[in-house]
Chain A
């Protein structure tokens, strides 16, 4: 195969693998106080925000990188990364989508994310984050009428400082752990959502994250607050160009649900997974945590993790309010040399709190998958319950699947159930599907989608279809 053919072959595998040639403004390489001040300064942040960052950075200097996870990776040189990269044209803030750099619009069009007016047809409000900055938020006016705030984190810091100050870092403190603390020091942009009391957000809110620049880490920060009796469904999608080096993505996502509020957070993660030999790909080391602060509140995480060279994340719920509910639905797929160590933590603090965990792991090729989950029931969490179901599906005999459940129970009233299965797609099932006219890849796609059904059903319609296709594509080449 000549080089061009190879490139085409590559593109077929990961269709988001293109990069956009855009002039960037970057912070100087490396991590130090000056870089943090540079970021804060370029974003014209108030002093309290800079102090927040510097405090985190002080803490970061004392922290050690954790290494208890199953997937190991070569040492990251934190001084050899860019912590801020933004398209130059964003510097003089475009006031509307019409003023956006056409190249950016083109990029999002290629990704299938319409930012322009046709977005209306889809009825999904989108916030798009390109490298370190948020480039566009759609449907803002409609949402504003109901008092809903949906904007970039940078804008929220400027326009809604009281809300940001009150909630930022309350679920993931600046002192939390290595990657979360790093994020607190250098986070660049992300989405901010506030749903006022009693409001049911009338549309799906969505953010698309795109890493474009090379040698750049992406550290976005998302904060969602659902005030009393409100409801919001939020979707997150991610893609990145194909590069030979590994790129770090260390986001923090904080969710806060007050009394009787509900937040549904869905992720379809399709970062570049590296090539079939395991070269390149994103390190996805993300901290996601939700606080059910008020009584009768509910937070539900749904994730479809198909990309990244290494996925290392545990979207968690702290069930503080009485009668609050936490849910975690996950599909994680690893192929070729991908590795994932993912799961959830359910911390039961309030009375009558309930949690449910449904995890579906699929490993193919030479990949390795670990489900790691914690159910922690506090002594005051009277009458609380957890149900966990972990299913693993293996394809071929060179991949691995591991289940590591941790259960801490300090309460005799509580009820904890854990079920786990490991299975393989049988030759007979494949033969049966093929006899009915499906080729091996269609057959695997169908069987795997059946295996994941419980989780796919949790996704909003628009995403479910996309996710279903993605599940098939991710496993291409894994049969035979």
Chain B
């Protein structure tokens, strides 16, 4: 589904990712763990289409050259990024935002757009599943939401859009145990043979709830070790510094 081959990324002459390669097949859950500044967030920015980087190498998503697609075209093809810092958009009702987003993607895929009634039925169902406070759906997008609510809102959007590849950028940071549960429920519900995940995190804790197929350790812009879930536990025990 996603093939990253020898990706190198620079920003203002500073090298962030070096010769980074990763292959994610349909249905797989990959976790990338690494300390601050290891290049984790850059990876999610690059995959989502954020501008301002010098890039070499190749990224293929279902055999499309990702770098030839605009950010929104990547979203249309099924790439979703749960932002580390979800944005506030004053004056824009959360429901309206969700509906606009869902219909933009449905339209691009040639599917029928949902009308207000169909949409509300779906969003209420998803909100209930994720224990997302329905009252928040009528508030301005992320304005006045707590950190945890913003993250839950990202997961709600993920489950509304059912993306093929979901990238979670430190979604677990700053979450209490209940919110963590909501996030992992969202992932586990969507998990299936066609839906893949790339979970970027500092901590092993989230992986107690979401069992990854692969764990990769990222340091200084390179994957230094890959393995199964046990690698996360080993990392937790030793710490990043002593891992080498």
Contact = CB atoms under 8 A, between A and B. Distances in A.
**Do A and B form a real pair?**
yes
Interface of A: 426-429, 431-440, 442, 446-447, 449-454
B90 A451 contact: yes
A434 B72 contact: yes
A431 B169 CA distance: 15
B75 A435 contact: yes
Contact of B72 (A426, A427, A439): A439
B92 A436 contact: no
B104 A436 contact: yes
A432 B48 CA distance: 9
B91 A432 contact: no
Contacts of A439: 70, 72, 104
B65 interface: no
Contacts of B71: 431, 434-435
A447 B93 CA distance: 11
Interface in B67-96: 70-72, 74-76, 80-81, 83, 86-87, 89-92, 96
Given A437-B108, A449-B92, A450-B140, A432 B72 contact: no
B92 to A, nearest CB: 4
B75 A437 contact: yes
B101 interface: yes
B50 interface: yes
Shortest beta-carbon contacts, A-B, top 3: A450-B91, A450-B92, A436-B101
Nearest to B87: A432
Nearest to B142: A432
B91 A449 contact: yes
Contacts, number: 77
B104 A450 contact: no
A429 B50 CA distance: 11
7 contacts: A431-B49, A435-B71, A435-B81, A436-B97, A437-B101, A437-B108, A453-B92
Given A446-B100, A451-B91, A432 B75 contact: no
B105 interface: yes
Contact of A437 (B76, B86, B96): B76
A452 B91 contact: yes
Contacts of A432: 83, 86-87, 89
Contact of A438 (B83, B90, B100, B161): B100
Contacts of B101: 433, 436-438
A453 B86 CA distance: 21
Contacts of B49: 431, 434-435
A446 B97 contact: yes
A56 B128 CA distance: 69
A429 B88 CA distance: 8
B89 A447 contact: yes
B100 A429 contact: no
B157 A429 contact: no
Contacts of A435: 48-49, 71-72, 74-75, 80-81, 83
A446 to B, nearest CB: 6
Interface in B33-56: 48-51
A426 B49 CA distance: 16
B100 A431 contact: no
Nearest to B83: A432
A446 B92 contact: yes
Contact of A447 (B80, B81, B92): B92
A466 to B, nearest CB: 17
Nearest to A426: B87
A431 B75 contact: no
B48 A450 contact: no
A434 to B, nearest CB: 4
The interface centre, meaning the residue of B81, B91, B102 with most chain A CB atoms within 10 A of its CB, is B91
B50 A431 contact: yes
A251 B40 CA distance: 60
B48 A442 contact: no
A335 B146 CA distance: 36
Contacts of B89: 429, 432-433, 446-447, 450
Contacts of A428: 87
Contacts of B74: 435
Contacts of A438: 72, 100-101, 104
A438 B101 CA distance: 6
B223 to A, nearest CB: 24
A427 B96 CA distance: 21
Given A446-B100, A450-B140, A436 B90 contact: no
Contacts of B87: 426, 428-429, 432
B154 to A, nearest CB: 10
Most buried by B among A426, A432, A442, A447: A432
Contacts of A451: 90-91
Given A432-B86, A435-B75, A437-B72, A442 B104 contact: yes
Nearest to A423: B90
Contacts of B140: 450
Contacts of B90: 450-451
A435 B74 CA distance: 8
Contacts of A426: 87
B100 to A, nearest CB: 6
B78 to A, nearest CB: 10
Contacts of A449: 91-92
